[in-house]
Structure 1
Amino acid sequence: MHQDRTAELVPFTIDLTFEEARRRAEVVAALGPDWDPVAALRSENEAYSLLYSGLDAEQQRTYDRLVAAGVLPDEGPGRAAAH
């Protein structure tokens, strides 16, 4: 028979809100003062457009099917894949 030893356990708590705020502050600090989020997003959108430009008819059909299925994001704002 097993003895209940829960009284011997040492409680452990961590404030995840504080840790997340600290982590985010470290990320922003690591990006440096010259980081421009608007320019970064613009560059990302340009790269995405370039990635799927110049598709032939079959590639375009495949791309359209993947977008419709939610595998690839559409070209609208906030383009994150649904799945």
Structure 2
Amino acid sequence: MRDALRKKVIAVCDEKIAKKGPGVGLSFYAFFANKNDNPELLMEAAEWWIREHELDHFEKATKIKEMVQQADRNRAAADH
């Protein structure tokens, strides 16, 4: 997942959690406007969500945020 998408996922998860609490669910569509202005990025998010992780349509924002942050930590550890 490219850096811009990771940052967007974390920001959206933080926003949803702040507004609706830690039990809030979302789909990968939550990271995009209703108008599909970046189909490549949308497909990257869908690939990560559906094929790579086999997630349900709706997942808890806290789970998604943790998955992205854990991937960042794993990547950083592998670089050292």
Both proteins in one fold, TM over 0.5 = no
Which has the larger share of helix? Answer: 2
Higher RCO (CA 8 Å, separation ≥ 6 residues): 2
Provide TM-score, normalisation by structure 1.
0.30
Which has the larger share of strand? Answer: 2
Provide TM-score, normalisation by structure 2.
0.30
Structure of larger gyration radius = 1
